[in-house]
């Protein structure tokens, strides 16, 4: 669910006399509200002079430039005989007034202003991601502890299965410290971004996401190896690894962004995809640049697992060497 409907209902309409007549907003260059001033029954004078209700520090605005008044039915804006006049859309007013419905923007000098009545519709209230989605589980100490434990165990298991030597606690410690250091840097980075954008660190949740990412990387790496062995996909191993890495990074960045940024899910998915492609693309380029153009030794990808995991059938030697005939074409200059 993207948004809640809170705020769509403006509530009972207030009588203008009982409250103010709305707000005059000074907009910045990107069209966002920079300042907001209440309009009372007495109206509002605008100009560069210090005697105005709203002083506009704009050299193209006259000392007494315009006035906003209540005519009994609504608000009007009047030009007070200014040098540059007053523009509403493409209409320029000089020494005359104009009705000002809610939502109307007008320009004085080079300053753009907008009038909004008290009952002007508001944008829907955005969802605070801290309080929703799967991340909220990572905010619980028990779940977070479990994620840490799961990732640490996966790392230790990976180390155990990758070694044909007797267990060495120093190797495990080194591996854990390296993973922890990388995780800390990654988590701190995202927490800092989170703090900058939404005034919260969310360090625990970001660390949980990072742990899940590491766990996913370990699991995907293992699964890719077994899939390549079982199904004979060795020639595709590299592409499969890059593809899965892209999906993992995409998911990881999306989870961090969802907690950090206020954009819609679609825009976050799009941003995560771009970041994922950039990161994995950079990794591919770095790998390729590190590879030598020429190698004296044969370089090949050949996964090897226990015979019980083999699913693909075997070729006869004759069939294998008949297939090998294509190597001649591959070697042609």
Partner 1 sequence: MAGSVRWGKISRRYAAMVILGLGLAVPPGVLANGGETEQVYARFKDRVLQIQVLDLSSGSKTTIGSGFLVAPDGVVVTNFHVIAALINQPGRYRAEYVDQHGARGPLSLVNLDVVHDLAVLRGNGLTGRPLEVSGTVPEKGERLYAFGNPHDIGLTIVEGTYNGLLQRSLYEKIHFTGSINPGMSGGPTVNAAGALVGVNVSTAGNQLSFLVPARFVAALLAASDQTVDAPEAFSSLVRRQLLANQDQYLAPLLAQPFPTSVMNGYRLPGELASFIRCWGNTHPQEEKLYKVVFQSCATEDEIFLGDHLKAGGIRFNHEFFSTIQLNPIRFYGFLEENFSQPRIGFSGEESNVSNFACQTDFVANGSLDSKVVLCLRRYKKLEGLYDAFLSATTLVGPREAVQTSLGLTGVSFENALSFSQRYLESLHWNR
By the criterion CB under 8 A, which residues form the site for partner 1? 160-166, 225, 232, 234-235, 293-308, 310, 312-318, 320-321, 323-328, 330-333
We find the least distance from the C-beta atom of residue 314 to partner 1, in angstroms, to be: 4
Q: How far is the CB of 160 from partner 1 (least distance, A)?
A: 7
Nearer to partner 1, 182 or 320 (CB): 320
Q: Smallest distance, Å, CB 126 to partner 1?
A: 48
Closest to partner 1 by CB, 226 vs 251, is 226
Cβ–Cβ < 8 Å for 82, 89: no
Closest distance between partner 1 and the C-beta of residue 288, in Å?
14
Instruction: Give the separation between CA 21 and CA 44, rounded to whole angstroms.
Output: 11
Q: Which residues pair with 44 in a beta bridge?
A: 68
Number of Cβ within 10 Å of residue 236's Cβ equals 15
Is residue 119 helix, strand or coil? coil
Q: Measured from the CB atom, is 184 or 304 closer to partner 1?
A: 304
| Nearest distance in Å: CB 224, partner 1 | 13
Shortest CB 292 distance to partner 1, Å: 9
Instruction: Using the minimum distance from each CB to partner 1, give the nearer residue, 18 or 302.
Output: 302
- CA gap 241, 33 in Å, rounded: 48
Question: By C-beta, is 163 or 267 nearer to partner 1?
Answer: 163
Choose between 21 and 229: whose C-beta lies nearer to partner 1.
229
- Output the CA–CA distances (angstroms, integers) from residue 145 to 38, 84, 149, 151, in the order listed: 51, 66, 6, 10
Beta carbon of residue 200, minimum distance to partner 1 (angstroms, whole number): 43
Burial class (CB in 10 A: 0-12, 13-18, 19+), 215: middle
Q: What is the spatial distance between Cα 80 and Cα 64, in angstroms, rounded to a whole number?
A: 7
Whether 113 contacts 31, CB under 8 Å: no
Answer yes or no: are the C-beta atoms of 39 and 21 closer than 8 Å: yes
Helix (H) or strand (E) holding 175: helix 169-198
Nearer to partner 1, 145 or 235 (CB): 235
Q: Are 107 and 97 in contact (CB under 8 A)?
A: no
Whether the CB-CB separation of 249 and 275 falls below 8 Å is answered with yes
């Amino acid at each position: 669910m993207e948004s809640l409907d809170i705020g769509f209902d403006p509530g009972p309409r207030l009588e203008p006399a009982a409250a103010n007549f709305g707000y005059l907003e000074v907009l910045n260059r990107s069209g966002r509200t920079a300042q907001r001033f209440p309009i009372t029954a007495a109206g509002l004078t605008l100009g560069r002079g210090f005697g105005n209700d709203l002083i506009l520090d704009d050299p193209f605005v006259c000392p007494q430039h315009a006035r906003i008044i209540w005519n009994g039915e609504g608000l009007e804006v009047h030009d007070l005989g200014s040098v540059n006049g007053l523009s509403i859309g493409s209409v320029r007013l000089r020494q005359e007034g104009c009705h000002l419905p809610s939502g109307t923007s007008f320009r004085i000098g080079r300053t753009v202003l907008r009038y909004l009545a008290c009952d002007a519709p508001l944008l829907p209230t955005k969802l605070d991601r801290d309080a929703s989605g799967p991340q909220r589980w990572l905010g619980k100490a028990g779940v977070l502890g479990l994620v840490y434990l799961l990732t640490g165990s996966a790392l230790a298991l990976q180390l155990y299965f990758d070694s044909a030597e007797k267990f060495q606690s120093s190797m495990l410690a080194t591996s854990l410290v390296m993973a922890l250091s990388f995780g800390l840097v990654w988590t701190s980075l995202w927490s800092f971004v989170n703090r900058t954008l939404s005034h919260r660190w969310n360090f625990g949740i970001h660390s949980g996401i990072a742990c899940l990412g590491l766990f996913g990387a370990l699991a995907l790496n293992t699964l890719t190896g077994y899939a390549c062995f079982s199904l004979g996909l060795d020639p595709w191993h590299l592409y499969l690894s890059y593809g899965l890495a892209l999906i993992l990074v995409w998911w990881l960045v999306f989870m961090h962004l969802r907690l950090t940024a206020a954009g819609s899910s679609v825009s976050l998915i799009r941003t995560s995809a771009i970041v994922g492609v950039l990161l994995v693309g950079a990794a591919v380029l770095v790998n390729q640049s590190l590879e030598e153009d020429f190698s004296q030794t044969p370089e090949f990808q050949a996964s090897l697992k226990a015979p019980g995991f083999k699913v693909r059938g075997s070729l006869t030697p004759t069939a294998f060497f008949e297939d090998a005939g294509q190597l001649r074409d591959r070697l042609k200059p």
